[in-house]
Amino acid sequence: MSHTFRRKGENALENVDRKFIDSVLEKYDSDKSKIIAIMQDVQEKYRYLPQEALEYIAGKVGMSESKLYGVATFYGNFSLDAKGKYVMKVCRGTACHVRKSSTILQALYDATGTDEHKPTSDDGLFTLEIVSCLGACGLSPVVMVNDTVHAAMTPDKARALVSQLREEA
Amino acid sequence: MAEKKMIIDGIECPFTNERNVLEVARNNGIDIPSLCYCENLSIYGGCRLCLVENERGAMDAACSMQPRNGMIVNTHTKKVLESRHTTLQLLMSSHRADCLTCEQSGRCKLQEYAHRYNVVEPRFEENTYPKLPLDVSSPCITRDPTKCILCGLCVRMCSEIQNVGAIDFTKRGKRAVVAPGFGKMLSETGCVGCGQCAAVCPTGAITINRQIPEMWAMLNDPNKRVVVQYAPSVRVGMAEEFGMPANEPVTGKLVTALRRLGVDVVYDTNLSADLTIMEESAEFLEKVKSGAKLPMFTSCCPGWIQHVEKAHPNLMPQVSTAGSPMEMLGALIRQQFKDEDVYSVAIMPCTAKKFEARRPELEKDGKRLIDLVLTTDELVRLIKAAGIDFKNLPDSEPDDPLGDYTGAGVIFGVTGGVTEAVIRKVLADASPDTLKTIAECGVRGLEGIKAFSVTAGDLTLKIAVANGLANADRLIEKVESGEEYFDFIEVMACPNGCIGGGGQPPASNARKRERVEAIFKADEDCELKIPQQNPALDYIYDELLKGRAHELLHIHYPLHGQH
């Protein structure tokens, strides 16, 4: 059944690339049973799920906005907040914990100007996330930046990493 | 096939096609508690209150258990009672219980069960209800997440029956909350204000916006002339609240009660329902003649109008511009009393009417047509607050000169009623044979979608009637895809039409069927059956409207487009 409340979905999209969203929808036949895959593809590009994109997708796949929002907020891996260019996943699993990952987390908070309640830095470069295990316990303590794993971290190495990334940006 | 039976609490319980053990038990006089189950919605099995124990000591939810021949379950074993007790304590530990002042007090199922199952003290010290603000953005309903127990009835109602999906489960774990997406307010969603969510909410998490103090203030103001109209369904929605059978209309008592409350003038919205038919059928025949795009959709239901505006804006030009009966009587009242200080009140079975009455289009000659909309439920509270013994009231009649009405107006209250009234008008024959033919043409019945043809002279009309917005959407999909063609489509947003409106005291399906009986009984009680027989029409068109009929009786909403 075609769904409701088309007002938002039909509007021009300001901050997201409509062509890109359309291509994702086409890839999955705008099938609402593939909504998770659709959202994963969108998140891969934007590193989060822009509200506009979700509203547009809701109209196209025939789901209510509230239902889609419900799915997006159910899974911890989806984010509705914009993330920094570098998403730093600090492992706080058991192996990393016993090798003092808490000091690394604190060093990264200090170096990037973020904290527990404000995970993204003001310059939009860094987002800090805490994860429970990256499955690389042999390399602990571990920090993963986007798709790169940084092994055997120390607070000094963490600070150096931030400076280096800042220069590259 | 032999009769199927199961044993509940040692009692032999015959069953046929009940969808679950819970229904079997209830049909056999055993009330198993449940908070998340509704006969008209899908089964969720989330509240765990309807757990029963089988003969092997295993427990399962009766709402999710299919009855089998020979099945044995018990509903109040030690294990079941303990489980129920704990479940209620857990629910209470995340529910803000301000029972004395809660809108839902006395009707709250959590309160009822806490009392029934003797949960006399909270087990968990700290109450963890979500500290979230009220959503008061809708003129019709208020959402209070601090009282939500996550039963999901509103979510299913809004998506399964109404296909609106304004709210859903969002977030997860202890942060889970039923809400619109993206932190929006209800007014920013597809919500049409039908109030069906409030009708199924077991607690006070979604309630109707009540405006009883405003009404008292006007009733007690000696300078105000309070003029009240009451809709067709109101007379069949109140009786049960006063311990009377629901299958009898209580029109006469209703009028007496309004006068005793201090209302100065009482009119019956049935009168303007007749008028709506006059205007709407003229508009329809004009459209047929001129070859305008069909189907024409009815316009009396404000929930439906909002749904078209929000979900099918392209169809709005096909919606009749005839005002709703409430609007039309509002316009007549203003003409009747001209410069007098009149406070115009409408008693409606409907929460969406509160929105309709505030729309800018419902202002004519610089005056609001309706000052206040009260629901049937609010009227019941007013009458109780005034200490009126409703059951033993004598009957009385609405006032002249706008007190006349025909049976065609009465039947507006049930799905198909508007259409039946239109057919009566078009066939223009009040003989019992014709009326019987019309009643049996397929227009009556509580099915979600009805489709049939009617022949009037050399014209054969294809007609469809839908109740519940999901049914309307299904119908529209068929029309837009070209799979089906109709000349005329009636839509009522609420299941079964206005008798099941969000402003009526909540009712089971059985109770709603009794209300339908009462509506047709009220129709039978009317001597006049077809709208054009209404003796007040001449006075209305010649004396009150004086050539301004279209201007005052039609409402052009923005999406109707240029007339």
pLDDT digits (tens, 9 = 90+) for B179-199: 999 999 999 999 999 999 999
* A148 touching chain B per CB within 8 A: no
The answer, yes or no, to whether ipTM is higher than 0.85 is yes
The pLDDT of B407-431, averaged and rounded, is: 93
The pLDDT of A110-131, averaged and rounded, is: 93
Say how many residues make up chain A: 169
Alpha carbon distance B379, B375 (integer Å): 6
B473: region left, alpha or beta (phi > 0 left; psi from -120 to 50 alpha): alpha
**Residues B78-116: tens digit of each pLDDT:** 999 999 999 999 999 999 999 999 999 999 999 999 999
Give the pLDDT band (50/70/90) at residue B241.
Answer: very high
Residue B247 sits in a domain of what CATH number? Answer: 3.40.50.1780
The answer to whether the CB of B67 falls within 8 A of the CB of B15 is yes
Nearest CB to A70 within list B170, B184, B470: B170
Contact between B180 and A63 using a beta-carbon 8 Å cutoff: no
pLDDT of residue A5: 46
Q: Is residue B153 part of a domain?
A: yes
Q: For residue B401, say if its preceding peptide bond is cis, omega within 30 degrees of 0.
A: yes
pLDDT of residue B174: 86
Contact between A3 and B166 using a beta-carbon 8 Å cutoff: no
The pLDDT of A139-157, averaged and rounded, is: 94
**Residues A44-85: tens digit of each pLDDT:** 999 899 999 999 999 999 999 999 999 999 998 899 988 889
Q: Which residue of chain A is at minimal alpha-carbon distance from B186?
A: A66
- State yes or no: pLDDT of A22 exceeds 50: yes
Give the pLDDT band (50/70/90) at residue B560.
Answer: very high
In A139-150, which positions are buried (b, 16+ CB within 10 angstroms) versus exposed (e)? bbbbbbbeeeeb
Residue A107 sits in a domain of what CATH number? Answer: 3.40.30.10
Q: Is residue B367 part of a domain?
A: yes
Long-range contacts of A99-107 (CB under 8 A, 24+ apart): A99/A140, A99/A141, A100/A141, A101/A140, A101/A141, A101/A142, A101/A153, A103/A155, A104/A141, A104/A143, A104/A153, A104/A154, A104/A155, A104/A158, A105/A130, A106/A155, A107/A155, A107/A156, A107/A158, A107/A159
- State yes or no: pLDDT of A7 exceeds 60: no
Q: Say how many domains are in chain B.
A: 3
* Nearest CA-CA distance, residue B34 and chain A, Å: 25
pLDDT of residue B1: 59
Torsions phi, psi of A15, nearest 5? -105, 0
Report DSSP state, residue B135. Answer: B
Which chain B residues are closer than 8 Å to A39 by Cβ?
none
Alpha carbon distance B445, B440 (integer Å): 10
Contact between A66 and B165 using a beta-carbon 8 Å cutoff: yes
Pair (B220, B333) in one structural domain: yes
pLDDT of residue A12: 56
Nearest CB to B182 within list A3, A5, A69: A69
Contact between A68 and B181 using a beta-carbon 8 Å cutoff: yes
Contact between B189 and A6 using a beta-carbon 8 Å cutoff: no
pLDDT of residue A82: 87
pLDDT > 90 in chain A, percent: 80
Nearest CB to A67 within list B165, B171, B182: B165
Torsions phi, psi of A145, nearest 5? -110, 115
* B161 touching chain A per CB within 8 A: no
The answer to whether the CB of B116 falls within 8 A of the CB of B88 is no
Alpha carbon distance B561, B563 (integer Å): 6
**Residues B128-172: tens digit of each pLDDT:** 899 999 999 999 999 999 999 999 999 999 999 999 999 999 999
Indicate the average pLDDT of chain A: 90
Q: Is A86 exposed, middle or buried (0-12, 13-18, 19+ CB in 10 A)?
A: buried
Contact between A68 and B163 using a beta-carbon 8 Å cutoff: no
Contact between B163 and A4 using a beta-carbon 8 Å cutoff: yes
Contact between B310 and A5 using a beta-carbon 8 Å cutoff: yes
Alpha carbon distance A119, B170 (integer Å): 22
Residue A58 sits in a domain of what CATH number? Answer: 1.10.10
Pair (B177, B279) in one structural domain: no
* B377 touching chain A per CB within 8 A: no
Nearest CB to B168 within list A4, A55, A66: A66
Indicate the average pLDDT of chain B: 95
Residue B130 sits in a domain of what CATH number? Answer: 3.30.70.20
Alpha carbon distance B84, B31 (integer Å): 14
What is the residue type of B336?
A: Q
* Nearest CA-CA distance, residue B153 and chain A, Å: 15
Active site amino acids of B? 280, 283, 300, 320, 353, 356, 361, 498
pLDDT of residue A4: 43
- State yes or no: pLDDT of B210 exceeds 70: yes
Beta bridge partners of B463: B452, B488
Give the pLDDT band (50/70/90) at residue B121.
Answer: confident
Pair (B415, B477) in one structural domain: yes
Q: Which residue of chain A is at minimal alpha-carbon distance from B470?
A: A1
- State yes or no: pLDDT of B275 exceeds 90: yes
* Nearest CA-CA distance, residue B165 and chain A, Å: 5
pLDDT of residue B118: 95
Pair (B102, B64) in one structural domain: no
pLDDT of residue B196: 98
- Find the DSSP H helices in B338-406: 352-358, 376-385
Pair (B426, B362) in one structural domain: yes
How many contacts, defined by CB atoms under 8 Å, are there between A and B? Answer: 74
Q: Is residue B276 part of a domain?
A: yes
Determine which of A2, A4, A52 to mutate to test the interface with B (most B C-beta atoms within 10 Å): A4
Q: Say how many domains are in chain A.
A: 2
What is the residue type of B161?
A: I
- State yes or no: pLDDT of B473 exceeds 50: yes
Structure tokens at A27: 């890839």
Pair (B35, B96) in one structural domain: no
The answer to whether the CB of A48 falls within 8 A of the CB of A94 is no
* Nearest CA-CA distance, residue A137 and chain B, Å: 28
What is the residue type of A99?
A: R
pLDDT of residue A3: 44
Q: Which domain holds residue A67?
A: 7-74
Alpha carbon distance B451, B96 (integer Å): 47
Q: Which domain holds residue B544?
A: 213-560
